[in-house]
Chains A and B, each alone.
Chain A
């Protein structure tokens, strides 16, 4: 698998400590909060970030998401990668060292 950030299917991401990620009942959505801001996530993005728990690997996330949304892993994988790269670029997630 290739991507522009140097992580592999075995990388475990977790939410960076500045951020707080949780389900928000009043919005019926996952939200990501940080100093001065809140991001409301769409369902797919929320499900991906919810699995960035420092325990699951990127491959685990791909497998679970393809189950959850009944799509082939081949279809899900590039989309998960694309989103993780955005998250990584924004500093929302960090690889577990």
Chain B
């Protein structure tokens, strides 16, 4: 996920701290906001169990401490438990990032046994019908049931709810549902416009009024629930005029491995044209991180153009997101157009205007047509 930099008060000292494994691109859901590749179903040759273990070892030797198992849907991999155990044994803090489909009570118990520390569960809505529209599949009951199982096994849990025009009016209900389940953290993640979300941008964009209303509702809930639940919610970059400090900077602390072993600074980077990201099948992980052209291209700030180059913010936001700069302006070295100082900022404000003139209805969401894979694991 091209999310803003994660919380950290240490410096990677030039080494990766966060390792994200995208175990598979396969997924039984078809979320219309999904930031995964739109050609998700042409999934490449996935790494074997032993190849993943090698990656886990190599990154740990380089200094990585946090590991996320994601995808696609990571629970579709039968070796998930084995990989979690391997990572836990090496001293990683292990996180599972899942839609909940593919989990069972038994599997959760096995994951606990394997040393899994924390689960992030993707959730769409407090309303089954809205959830169905957003995920493209009827999965509300199953997710709710899994959320309760996760809590009953004592896992700390983040509920991740991507927020868009489709569900933003449900924010108070979503907060109440999360409190009822007993989660420690609720992340109301404003949808970021990559891949499927970009395809559906006109349909997903909330109004400024809706965002401000949600912000006030969150503020009220934070006070009411202080001590029991932490709620993350930030005004999205399209409205804020400020870019996100994407990945804490390119090749700074985040290391992502795609299902086929391609090594990326973030999940989205694969879509950048002209960049040739090496695979762990071809080169040593440490060489890729330190030496490869693609990891060095946007590292530091010498690649920056104006206005970033002479901007006082550049050490805080690193010029924003390279992938968003590429997707909207056609050049990843441009400032992220979400920045109000970017000469391309009009592209973001125009996109907002256009979306808000569109008749929004969940019926119009575009999701993957194919892509059903069995959920029995």
Contact = CB atoms under 8 A, between A and B. Distances in A.
A37 B154 contact: no
A24 B120 CA distance: 25
Contact of A37 (B6, B62, B63): B6
A17 B65 contact: no
Given A18-B184, A22-B91, A26-B63, A35 B118 contact: yes
A39 interface: yes
Interface in A1-38: 17-18, 20, 22, 24, 26-27, 29, 31, 33-38
A56 interface: no
A36 B9 contact: no
A17 B158 CA distance: 15
A35 B156 contact: yes
Given A37-B8, A38-B8, A39-B9, A17 B154 contact: yes
B233 interface: no
B9 A40 contact: yes
A26 B9 CA distance: 15
Chain A interface SS verdict (over half)? strand
B184 A31 contact: no
A33 B93 contact: yes
Q: Which of under 10, 10 to 19, 20 to 34, or 35 or more describes the interface residues of A?
A: 10 to 19
A36 B63 contact: no
B117 interface: yes
B154 A31 contact: no
A38 B158 CA distance: 16
Nearest to B184: A18
A30 B115 CA distance: 20
Contacts of B158: 35-36
A20 B15 CA distance: 21
Nearest to A20: B93
A18 B94 CA distance: 11
Interface in A29-83: 29, 31, 33-40
B146 interface: no
Interface of B: 6-10, 13, 15, 17, 62-63, 65-66, 91, 93, 95, 117-118, 120, 154, 156, 158, 184-185
**What are the 8 tightest A-B residue pairs by CB atom distance, in nearest-first order?**
A37-B7, A40-B10, A26-B63, A33-B93, A18-B156, A35-B118, A20-B93, A36-B6
Interface of A: 17-18, 20, 22, 24, 26-27, 29, 31, 33-40
15 contacts: A20-B117, A24-B65, A26-B63, A27-B10, A29-B10, A33-B65, A33-B93, A34-B118, A35-B118, A35-B156, A35-B185, A36-B6, A37-B7, A38-B93, A40-B10
